[in-house]
Every structure is written in C-alpha cells, then in structure tokens.
A and B are shown apart, each in its own frame.
Chain A
Amino acid sequence: MITLDLILLSILLLFVIWTVMTVRLVHAVVGLALTSAILAVIIYRLNSPLAAVFELSVCSGLISVIFITTVSFTQRISKERFIIRRRERLLRFLYLPFIIIVAGWLLIKYLRIPQFSLPSAASVTDARLVLWHLRHLDLLGQVIILIAGVFGVVVFFKETNK
C-alpha cells in the first residue's frame, strides 16, 4: 500500500523538523531517537528486517545515550541568556518549514526520474549469509574500527590533561 508508506514518511519528516527546531537540547536528542524508530518501521516495510532491528536498537538507543552523555558534561546556560537565545533562535529557524514546503512543492511538480533498467536478481537473499560469507573485509573493518573507537575513548576520556 502506498498510502501507509506516505503517512510514515510524512511522520518521519515531521519528527526531523521538530528535532531541528526544538529549543531544548534534550528534546532534540529525544526527537532523534523517535526519528530512528519511525525509520526502523519504514525500513522494515522495505523488506529489510535485519537492518530495521539494528537501526532500532542501535541508533534509537545507543546513540541517544551517547548524545545525552555528551550533553550532560556541558553546562546549562543561565536563565536570562536562555530567553535571549530562544528569541533569536526562533527567528533563525523559522525559515525551515517554509523552505521545506516550497522545496517539497517544487519537487513534486518538477522532479522526473529517468527510466532505468534494473540489474538481475540477487543470488543470495539472506543478509546474514551475505555478510558472513561474501563480505569478510567489511567484518574485519568493523573490528578494526571498534578498536580505533576504544583507543579514541581512552585518549579522550581516560587521561588527565597535563
């Protein structure tokens, strides 16, 4: 059904705009987690269940935890600066919905996708088989980047400054 996909996409776009425009930072991080959840549902509807569950658990959960940890290390600004900030920030971000609506209307009217032919169907249809049997370099890459991430955490968070 096309309409369900369209409704889900609209909700996704709405959450993304809310994430960008909201004033408090913690609300923005929560908005990011919600967009990950809706994105996981859309991905599931596109016949990719493995990616959907990964996106839901990791991006919706882990990255929000990382962001909230980072935000909690920084300090809250004082109340009067907050009100000044809020007023000037509303002025800046007010353009966003207009830009989105205008761009959306232009795209719906004028975007034409050229016809293209599709490649042949895949031989292996299970993602787990593809990952474990065909793409060993990616697995090695994941291990190495996780090691690099561990060293990053050690460098940034463990040492004390000179």
Chain B
Amino acid sequence: MSPETMELFRYFIIFIILIFITGVYCILVSFNLVRVLIGLEILIKAVTLLIILAGYISGQVALAQAIVLTLIVIEIVIMVVAGGVVFWAFKYTKTIDPRRLSNLRG
C-alpha cells in the first residue's frame, strides 16, 4: 500500500474517531430524548464512513456499497420505531427528559 494512501487512511481514521467521541458525548450528556437519537445517528454515520473507507482501501468497493445500502434501510426503520417510542414517552411524562425516565432503579 502506497505511503500516501496510508497517510490518507490515517487522517480518515482520526476524524472518524473524533466523530465517534462527539456522538458518544451527545448521548451521555443530553437531557432530551430526541438528542439521544441524534447522537445515535451521528454514530451510525461514522460507522458508514468507516465501512466505505474499508471498501476503498481493500478494493472491495461494490461489497461495501451493498453493505451501506442495507445499513441505511435498517437505520430508517429503527429511527421510525424510536420516534414512536419517544412520542409515547412524551404522552406519558409530558417531557422528553431522560432523567425523568429513571423510575426503574436497581
């Protein structure tokens, strides 16, 4: 593998790790259920970029794209279901604060 591809790869990995850190921070520190979902979305985008990068580096561009396509479909369905759960959580507690969801302890 040529050194400039290696260099590019290294920068991509660094940025992907930084996006991961941002997503995890968003999930941990947010007080709003929809923000937790946004943090999850950011993590999924980072993983999508990582898969495409893996496909580019290893030459398997077609397989990586097929994986990403299926992944995007799964992501949509999960976000719709999560939206439904947040909707009902709001109906019960009149707020979307995850601290209020700490009824179940232990």
Contacts and interface: CB of A to CB of B under 8 A. Distances in A.
A50 B83 contact: no
What is the interface residue range for chain A against chain B?
35 or more
Contacts of B42: 16, 19-20, 32, 35
Interface in A96-131: 96, 99-100, 103-104, 107-108, 111, 113, 115, 118-122, 124-127, 129-131
A159 B86 CA distance: 16
B84 A51 contact: no
What is the interface residue range for chain B against chain A?
35 or more
Interface residues of A: mostly helix, strand, loop or mixed? Answer: helix
A122 B61 contact: yes
25 contacts: A13-B19, A16-B22, A20-B25, A25-B35, A35-B42, A42-B49, A43-B49, A43-B68, A55-B68, A58-B72, A63-B79, A73-B87, A74-B34, A100-B21, A108-B14, A111-B14, A119-B58, A119-B60, A122-B60, A122-B62, A131-B65, A135-B66, A142-B73, A149-B77, A157-B84
Interface of B: 1, 4, 6-15, 17-19, 21-23, 25-26, 29, 31-32, 34-35, 37-39, 41-42, 45, 48-49, 52-53, 55-66, 68-70, 72-77, 79-81, 83-88, 90-91, 94-96
